Structure 1
Amino acid sequence: MRRQELFSTGGPAMSWSKQQARFSNLSFRREAGRMRKQAMILALDLGSTAFKAALFDSGLNRLAEQAAPTPYMRQEGLSVELDPEDVWSAAEGLIRKVAEKAGVRPSHIGTVAVASQAQTFCVMDAGGRPMTPFISWLDGRAAAEAAEIQARFGPVFHQHCSFPAASGQLQVCQIRRLLKLDGSLLAGRGAVAPLPCFVFHRLAAVRVTDSNLAAMSGLFSLERRDWWDDILDFCGIPREALPGWLEAGGGFEARSCCAALGVGRPLRLVSAGNDQTAGAYGAGCGACNVLVTLGTALVAYRVAGDRPGPYSATGCWGPYPGGRFYELAYRDEGCLALDFARRKTMPDAGASEFLEAAEREQPPVGDCGWLFIPGRIRSGDPWIGDGERRLLPYAAVEGITFSVRQLVFEDLQCRNPGRVLVAGGGAQSGFWRQLIADALNMPVERACGDSLLGAARMASGAEPDNVSNAAVATPNPERAALLAERFKQWAAAQKTR
């Protein structure tokens, strides 16, 4: 089945309307001339901590930006859900507010480019009405289904899916769980709507995702470059319940059904992949570079070139704009671990105050008497040692930094990257950037570009390379030697408890 035939203007029973939208399979670079004629590009990043929007002109100058907290509805035990109407309200509100900030009418926006967290999805009916809440990638209720899928597909799973093994966070595992509860959920009326797909449907009544996001879901085969029939059959998921797809960074023309943008107006929609990919594209992360994101999760990302993966037994891989591929390694406990440590040691302080305290108490020589293992925050006991309590914040930041070192050198096996860029909320801290530079013993740059710029660059057809970055932290040889020894202690402690 061709990709064009998978599109739907309303639900799984309806076919793609050529009068309503014309799908283009050209690469985003070949579309650059037409794209630059669109005066305003709205970029959305539907992240795990915040939804963000920015408005760009045709020269990719950022005119305004706005953010809102990710609208979680339920965070209880293993359950993490979002209300679809709250999701749309937040996204539409950002469109209106960012246009107001820029002093332009929302109807002047000609292109909307969307980057998103992966996995998070809901099920909607043929009319686009939600049938379930959004199930977040942070939701942990599908462990049993993940074990069933892994037992069935084993080591071949990584040939097809971005992730090396099935986990309860994957879309395919959560859908299998929902179908156990209601076997008729996708029978003729239900359609799977990943987060950006839902927003596209509210913008222009189309259901579409991209190969970058689809490959992370467990529903798509990277080897076959299409939905993965074997796993769909195993889980009882009808192919027609899945959205259409296009290549990462690709776009298509549609007619707006969004009041904020003007009903019936021509609108170009661009699917910019997962937020890590958009961030790498915005930061100018080229071949041999590594981008570290200090966000909700801790992520190390590299552009791998045009040879498909998998590249390692543990790395995540998938399509990157322009016919290339990426590899990333991650830990769930990034700034989640930082927030845990802050709540335990400085409950009345914000993240910036916590980092300032860590910097203030950084020991000039020797160790601090504590080791912090981020992966143990769920047990409630991540600190090991008997140092002074005032040193706990520093130990927490150091422990997360050691996870960065592990991701770059061991998981990605990048012993000598050309550049190391850092992004995310934690990257604003000069202290933390310097600590990472010392732990890696190499210069670290704060990325100037972000996922919003990356999505806008994809929409415009601009290349990601040669983006200048600021605030370079140079390693201190004495501190680098000290942290190398501390890392050995940390790695040993990580394995023993």
Structure 2
Amino acid sequence: MMTPLLVGIDVGTTSVKATLFDDSGAALRTFADPYPMKRPAPGLAEQDPADWTSRVSAALAHLSDGLTNGAIAAVGLTSQVNTHVFVDMDGAPLMPAITWQDGRAGAEAAELDALISAEERIGWWGAPLPIDASHPLARALWLKRHHPDLWARTRWLMAPKDYCILQLTGEATADPMAAFGVIDQSLTYVSRLLDLVPGIADRLPPLRGFTQTAGRIRPGLPLAGIPMVTGAMDAWAGLIGTGVLRDGECMYLSGTSEIIGLVSSARHPAAGVIAFPTCEGITMHAGPTQAGGASLAWLSNLTGRPPSELSVLVANSNPHRPTPLFLPHLQGERAPIWDIGARGAFIGLDGSMGPAELTRAVFEGVASSVRWLLEALEASAGQAATSFSMAGGGAASDPWCQIRADMLGRPIRRLKTLDAGVLGAAILAGVGAGRFSSIDEAADRLVVTDRVFEPDPSRRERMDFLYGEYRELYSALKPFNAARAAFTAW
């Protein structure tokens, strides 16, 4: 008799990805389907929520095709966060989803940020985090001011994962980590914070634990009647899908952005990073950059070469040849500097440089952004990272993984399942369905190592130099970027 199977789904920034797993972590079937990011004006970045739900339904149909009733035990979902969709009483979106890359609510964010003390931030979030343009309060205030008619019709303000669960089960729910920024260390909504935008408290979904059943899939849909767990936001699903659950262990997810998460029960509030509330016995110090894989995708479009071809060019090039210095701030930067006005740059170009050198510079620049973030995380956690477990699409490139190991000066363990969020969602589904007694047990069973990249000592001096220059270049360009923004606003 076949052991019941598990489905994990990730509603990401660029696509829906899904996998059917058995209880040893083997991927039996996979699904992936991209969708566009729409940029109707500078600073705006939107998606159509129908693009998510149509692909989630297609994934469920594909993964379950031909299986007998009862073959699948449960479904877990994860998604991008700081992407928001405003939903009416009937569950219909009132406008395109505002994604995490969108900066339209910058003015509202600055206004709200000025109303919160440093002491309140530390008390609520464990770190002096700012309210930025991607914060749900800033988005809500923006809608309330600019489209009061839509605000009046809003029933729910939801993350993509929770919107998809609503469409599939009819139930409104959210996990506490997807709601981070409006909850405190007790994993409950902060009334003092919500009072800053009257009406938002009634529009936020009720909170449930990662492995709690959110509802069952509605009749007429693929896998009707199968339970769906609440699941977790992408960073936490990735943490679980990389098996990073113990103090000192560090998750490295390389997707559109680079997301780093260090587990440590100690807290030493540090600017620019998130010290999440303890959840499921885990305290994660984490932060996202803005453009990891997005930087390679940009260069791919610029050169007309696919990312895989660019990676091969780097693998076949001389690693000691000079390269330009690259800042991956193509649409601002997030952790640890949270500077929406930062902009990308290539510095030090000469006529001998071609696609291989530019690609290596992108790899090194993104790795430098992660080193800066890691320093902040280790300060917040009060300890150094003792191990790195890496997944995500950007981990598929061997030369990029090696450059990351060289830049961080630490071994990096690449995992067999690169879609860690998908695996994490399936792990949570398995625990919720009673297939495993705990998240730890499930992760120990399902997370498998592919390869370990050791840092090359001969490149230590080069990496230290590049990182120092990276920091200096960002500081030097900051006033230029501010002046440029003021000029283009005329």
The two structures have a TM-score, normalised by structure 1, of 0.82
Could you tell me how far 1:374 is from its partner in structure 2?
A: 1.6
Instruction: Supply the distance in 2 between the matched residues of 1:142 and 1:298 (Cα, whole angstroms).
Output: 23
1:474 CA displacement: 1.5
Q: Which residue in the other structure is 2:325 paired with? A: 371
Aligned with 2:114: secondary structure?
A: helix
* CA distance, structure 2, for counterparts of residue 189 and residue 79 of structure 1: 21
Q: Distance in 2 between matches of 1:383 and 1:189?
A: 44
CA contact (8 A) 2:214 2:228 kept: yes
Q: Secondary structure at the match of 1:166?
A: coil
Q: State whether structure 2 residue 228 is matched by structure 1 residue 269.
A: yes
8 Å Cα contact 1:222/1:318 also seen in 2: no
Instruction: Give the structure 2 partner of residue 8 of structure 1.
Output: none
Equivalence for 2:369: 403
Letter in 1 for 2:263: V
Q: Percent identity?
A: 24
Opposite residue 416 of structure 2, the aligned amino acid is C
* Alpha carbons 1:304, 1:327 under 8 Å: kept: yes
| 1:191 matched to 2:191 | no
- Where structure 1 has 5 or more consecutive residues not aligned to the other structure, the ranges are 1-36
Q: How far apart are the structure 2 equivalents of 1:167 and 1:362? A: 41
Q: Deviations over 1:387-424 (max 9, x none)?
A: 32222222221111122222223443477422122221
Q: 1:359 maps to what in 2? A: 315
1:421 is paired with a residue whose SS is: strand
Say whether 1:313 aligns with 2:271: yes
Structure 1 residue 89: Cα displacement:
0.9
Instruction: Tell me: CA distance 1:370–1:212, structure 2 relative to 1, closer, same or farther (3 Å).
Output: same
**Kindly tell me: are residues 321 and 454 of structure 1, through their superposed partners in 2, closer, same or farther at Cα, counting changes over 3 Å?**
farther
State the partner residue of 2:133.
168
Is residue 282 of structure 1 aligned with residue 262 of structure 2? no
**Partner of residue 479, structure 1:** 459
Of residues 100, 105, 111, the one that matches 1:137 is 100
Aligned counterpart, 1:68: 33
Query: 5 Å matches for 1:203-282?
Result: 203-215=168-180, 218=181, 220-247=182-209, 249-252=210-213, 254-261=215-222, 263=224, 265=225, 267-282=226-241
- 1:434 matches 2:402: yes
- Is residue 125 from structure 1 mapped to residue 88 from structure 2 by the alignment? yes
- Residue 173 of structure 1 and its aligned partner are, at CA, apart by 0.9
1:38 deviates by 8.6
Report if the CA contact (8 A) 1:315-1:412 is conserved.
no
Structure 1 residue 439 displacement after superposition: 1.6
Question: How big is the alpha-carbon RMSD for the aligned residues of Structure 1 and Structure 2?
Answer: 2.7
Alignment check: 8 A CA contact 1:212 1:320 kept = no
Q: How does 1:392-471 map to 2 (within 5 A)?
A: 392-413=358-379, 416-449=384-417, 450-461=420-431, 462-463=439-440, 464-465=443-444, 467-471=447-451
Partner of 2:259: 299
Following superposition, the deviation at residue 460 of structure 1 comes to 2.0
Candidates 106, 109, 116, aligned match of 1:153: 116
Aligned counterpart in structure 2 of residue 202 of structure 1, from 152, 155, 167: 167
SS for the counterpart of 2:145 is helix
1:318-362 residue CA offsets vs partner (Å, 9 max, x unmatched): 246523221112220212222233334x2x200111122233334
Structure 1 runs (4+) greater than 6 angstroms displaced: 377-380
Counterpart in the other structure of 1:4: none
Q: Which residue identity does 2:100 align to in structure 1?
A: W
Q: Matched residues in 1 for 2:255 and 2:40: separation?
A: 19
CA distance in 1, matches of 2:444, 2:83: 30
Distance in 1 (CA, whole Å) between partners of 2:369 and 2:277 is 25
Ranges in structure 2 where 5+ consecutive residues have no aligned partner: 333-341, 432-438, 478-490
Aligned pair count? 447
Match of 1:383 among 328, 346, 350: 346
Separation in structure 2 between the aligned mates of residue 372 and residue 147 of structure 1, nearest angstrom: 29
